Amino acid sequence: MFIETRGNDGVKPQEVTFSEAILSPSASFGGLYVPKELPKLEENFIQNHIDKSYKQLAYDILKAFEIDIEEEEINKALALYDNFDDPSNPCPVVKVKDDLFVHEQYHGPTRAFKDMALQPFGSILSSIAKNRNEKYLILAATSGDTGPAALNTFKNKGNIQVACLYPDGGTSDVQRLQMVCEDGDNLKVLGIHGNFDDAQTALKNLLASKTFKEELENDGIKLSAANSVNFGRIIFQIIYHFWSYIQLLKQEEISFGEKIYLVVPSGNFGNVLGGFYAQQMGVPVEKLLVASNENNILTEWINTGVYDIRNKELKLTKSPAMDILKSSNIERVIYSLYGADRTKEFFDDLNEKKVFKMTQEETKLLQNYFHAVNSDDAYGAKKIKEFLKEDYLMDPHTATCLKAYETLKEKPLKTVIYSTAEWTKFSPTVLQALHEDSKTYPDKEALDIISKEYNAVQPDSIKKLFTAKINHDTVISKEKIEEEIIKFIKD
């Protein structure tokens, strides 16, 4: 069963099932849903999966959560991993240095880590809607990768419509094209004048809006979300942290019980939250190392216990998927560590005063699990160039992880960094780093130069974008979002 991070308002049920939590992800007082308790896995769960497939691992973890989804639907959802580059290993863990491994999460249809969760999640959500004979509007706000992955997974699915918000000018060209060229009849893509925080705030406001829900209900439509506010995303993000550990065991790089560091580039905190839950469920993690860019709100919070956005202005960086100041999933960690009452206090303060402050003891408890550091664009560019000499080509988000690897490790343990996007999604930034210049490269030119000069492979799905028809060209102000979405569902 699932319960609410900020306590119950006396209107919503005290507990809900998994399917109810993912169909209606907005909890009391604007909070989120979390498992009432995490599953207790058998002692030899990890060892028993050393020779099992990723799909089998995913199936067994989902079953441990006792989710109320039919077995046939779970298997159908997990079969989507067969569409990744290597069905037997959809997210390979690659050795780069003696103690450094890259978990490549970008081998799915949209070349970013969001496919790992959104491919199966989309299948499960649409099957529930169909089985209930209910229609749903799925909202997605994106800083670049959630949008393409959500649109891809829900395209032409029955009983589902999707409205996707992205910050105009705040994504790479490839990410934008992946969204605006989608041709499903049930999809609406809206660029907004603003940044990702504006898009995410609009999404949360719509999820909580009584008048918006009533408008939808008049058309027989219910409301859900594809962002990581939805636990249907998070449950799939737990699985690949188990896979990291299992792969190191399989490669005989560690022995069972040996702890490792996990380094996650973080914006909305969903990916590293999955690591936190995996640690709670038995993966031997020494520390979760959080890598931020110049929008270093997470670094400040973890290092000081203060989450303060009063005088912060979002900076647009070369790692745009991490350009976030209001990080949704810290709420689930806060709930796990301090309970519902304290969580509500913190987020009431954040909403009203734009700041919350934890006690010294609370901060110390947080730091038992997390360390954090941030880097800037110049550092990222330097690391992209440096690691090409190791024959490893990475994107700017992955590059931020190296700061944590270099500065936060307190013990000589094996380290896994998470590569959340393929270089093709950010080719102009990658080319600037490799050429050590500040020239503005169009995506197509940068992709072709990198492919030619460095023998890097462009997937067909990326090549085709530049000749694809643009089907969504609407860019609007934040105030017009609700109006545009209502127009879309009535068409």
Note the pLDDT of residue 389: 87
Q: How, if at all, do strands 355-357 and 306-308 pair?
A: antiparallel
pLDDT, tens digit, for every residue of 133-169? 999 999 998 888 889 999 999 999 989 999 999 999 8
At 163 the pLDDT is: 95
| Predicted local confidence at residue 258, as pLDDT | 97
Q: Which two tokens mark 158?
A: 């029955």
Any idea which residue has 């997990």 for tokens?
78
Q: Is 311 exposed, middle or buried (0-12, 13-18, 19+ CB in 10 A)?
A: exposed
Q: 29: which 2 tokens?
A: 């007082």
Kindly tell me if the per-residue pLDDT of 227 is higher than 90: no
- Predicted confidence at residue 199, as pLDDT, reads 87
β-strand pairing of 370-374 with 93-97: unpaired
Q: What is the pLDDT of residue 58?
A: 98
Give pLDDT tens digits for 115-125: 999 999 999 99
Q: Do 157 and 122 meet the contact criterion of CB atoms below 8 Å apart? A: yes
Q: Encoding tokens for residue 268?
A: 């909305």
Identity of residue 412: P
Q: Which structural domains are found in the chain, ordered by start?
A: 90-112+232-467 (3.40.50.1100)
Residue type, 92: P
Q: What is the per-residue pLDDT across 328-386, written as a single tens digit (0 to 9) for each? A: 999 999 999 999 999 999 999 999 999 999 999 999 999 999 999 999 999 999 999 99
Other CB atoms within 10 A of residue 68 CB: 11
Calpha distance 147→130 (Å, rounded): 23
Could you read off the pLDDT of 237-279 as tens digits, one per residue? 999 999 999 999 999 999 999 999 999 999 899 999 999 999 9
**How large is the average pLDDT for residues 74-78?**
97
- pLDDT of 289 strictly over 90: yes
Buried b (16+ CB within 10 A) or exposed e, 398-435: bbbbbbbbeebbeeebbbbbbbbbbbbbbbbbbbbbbb
Burial grade of 475 (CB within 10 A; 0-12, 13-18, 19 or more):
middle
